[in-house]
């Protein structure tokens, strides 16, 4: 007689422990994706400035200001750096400043801390990759990075993120934990894709005379590069880079893994699994919002988006993504504070 089927270890845990594991897996995934996307933005912006070294001070300030605005941390930046945004101050703020919760350093440290708290739930390979990246960053400094060349540093962050995600795909069981990891990754990626587009379209929008010019084309090429989409775009369109086509590709492509449409579709899929929304009519606000986003991205065209206003369209999506993430955290990951001082300190470190 065959042995009775065993309940997966993830399901055997108490509801409090389950919420703790889900919470750490979700934020571990989001933080590593956020670190990679910040590295992408910094790397591409630095490369753009190398390509156009003749830009005046006003243009240079616009480019670095755009990165701060895209992160949503302009108030914190102004508080820490009471001066104009420069290559050094912005790079330090977004990459190394521990006072910035969204810096690459903080994101990697937070991802590693979340992984440490659930060490028995992830594979050895996943843990070693995060730990090695953590040790690499602890040994780095702004001066060392600039002396060695920042591009090499950003490549290291991206490669470590890709390695971690590949090892997760190869070594993590397809259970509830997997769903939280994927949900966190794609909701973070969708948000960052909207911010990449918003920086170019709203902040760096050129004058009418410059649209389609050399600088405008180079900027859109940089946007595509920041999402590793340049080669995919050229294979799809096989022509020069046009602003509206670049925006269309990053918003509506249903096959490119960093497009908004693809990411939102994945968010919807994993959200339905997490919340148990199997019916045709979603019950939760988060599931309804995700389903509406997918439907909009399937029915709208780039012409519709431009008529509405690119900035307004992207801002609305950012708000919806924030609401979806917040509801999932509150309904599936909320847990009461423990009396232990150590547990309370760990919660503060996670936040």
Tens digits of residue pLDDT in 47-82: 777 766 666 667 777 778 878 887 888 889 989 887
Q: What is the pLDDT of residue 210?
A: 53
Does the pLDDT value for residue 253 go beyond 90? yes
Residue 16 · residue 335 · CB < 8 Å: yes
Among the ranges given (161-165, 183-187, 222-226), the one the predictor scored with the smallest mean pLDDT: 222-226
Residue 165 · residue 130 · CB < 8 Å: no
Q: What is the pLDDT of residue 277?
A: 82
Q: 20 burial class (0-12, 13-18, 19+ CB within 10 angstroms)?
A: buried
Distances (CA, A) of 257 to 24, 149, 202: 24, 29, 24
Q: What is the pLDDT of residue 311?
A: 87
Distances (CA, A) of 146 to 88, 143, 149, 153, 236: 9, 5, 5, 9, 36
Does the pLDDT value for residue 2 go beyond 80? no
pTM of the entire predicted model = 0.85
Per-residue b or e along 157-194, where b marks 16 or more CB atoms closer than 10 Å to that residue's CB: bbebbebbbebbeeebeeebbbbbbbbbbbbbbbbbbb
Tens digits of residue pLDDT in 181-196: 999 999 999 999 998 8
Distances (CA, A) of 162 to 42, 77, 130, 236, 294: 17, 29, 11, 24, 26
Q: What is the pLDDT of residue 52?
A: 63
How many CB atoms are closer than 10 A to CB 346? Answer: 18
Does the pLDDT value for residue 280 go beyond 80? no
Q: What is the pLDDT of residue 332?
A: 86
Does the pLDDT value for residue 1 go beyond 50? no
Looking at per-residue pLDDT, the higher value among 66 and 295 belongs to 295
Per-residue b or e along 228-264, where b marks 16 or more CB atoms closer than 10 Å to that residue's CB: ebbebbeeeeeeebebebbbbbbbbbeebebbbbbbb
pLDDT band at 281 (very low <50, low <70, confident <90, very high): confident
Give the domain ranges of the chain: 14-171, 173-337
- CA–CA separation, 80 vs 278, rounded Å? 47
Does the pLDDT value for residue 170 go beyond 90? yes
- CA–CA separation, 149 vs 143, rounded Å? 10
Tens digits of residue pLDDT in 89-112: 888 899 989 999 999 999 999 999
Q: What is the pLDDT of residue 202?
A: 59
Averaged pLDDT of the chain: 83
Q: What is the pLDDT of residue 193?
A: 93
Looking at per-residue pLDDT, the higher value among 262 and 241 belongs to 262
128 three-state secondary structure: helix
């Amino acid at each position: 007689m065959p042995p009775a089927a065993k309940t997966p270890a993830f399901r055997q845990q108490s509801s409090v422990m389950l919420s703790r594991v889900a919470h750490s897996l979700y934020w571990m995934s989001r933080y590593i994706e956020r670190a990679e996307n910040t590295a992408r933005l910094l790397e591409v912006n630095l490369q753009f400035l190398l390509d156009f070294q003749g830009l005046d001070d006003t243009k240079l300030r616009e480019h670095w200001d755009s990165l701060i605005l895209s992160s949503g941390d302009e108030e914190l930046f102004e508080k820490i750096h009471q001066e104009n945004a420069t290559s050094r101050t912005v790079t330090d703020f977004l990459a190394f400043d521990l006072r910035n919760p969204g810096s690459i350093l903080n994101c990697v440290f937070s991802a590693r801390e979340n992984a440490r708290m659930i060490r028995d739930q992830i594979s050895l390979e996943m843990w070693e990759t995060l730990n090695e990246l953590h040790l690499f960053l602890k040994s780095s400094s702004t001066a060392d990075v600039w002396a060695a060349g920042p591009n090499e540093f950003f490549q290291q962050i991206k490669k470590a993120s890709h390695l971690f995600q590949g090892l997760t795909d190869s070594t993590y069981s397809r259970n509830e934990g997997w769903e939280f990891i994927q949900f966190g990754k794609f909701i973070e990626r969708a948000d960052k894709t909207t911010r990449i587009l918003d920086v170019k379209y709203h902040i760096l929008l050129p004058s009418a005379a410059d649209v389609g010019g050399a600088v405008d084309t180079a900027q859109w090429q940089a946007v595509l590069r920041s999402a590793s989409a340049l080669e995919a775009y050229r294979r799809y369109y096989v022509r020069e880079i046009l602003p509206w086509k670049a925006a269309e590709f990053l918003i509506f492509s249903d096959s490119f893994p960093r497009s908004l449409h693809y990411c939102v579709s994945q968010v919807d899929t994993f959200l339905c699994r997490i919340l148990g929304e199997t019916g045709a009519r979603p019950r939760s606000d988060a599931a309804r919002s995700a389903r509406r986003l997918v439907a909009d991205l399937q029915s709208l065209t780039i012409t519709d988006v431009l008529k509405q206003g690119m900035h307004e369209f992207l801002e609305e999506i950012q708000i919806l993504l924030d609401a979806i993430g917040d509801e999932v955290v509150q309904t599936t990951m909320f847990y009461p504070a423990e009396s232990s001082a150590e547990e309370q300190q760990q919660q503060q470190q996670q936040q």
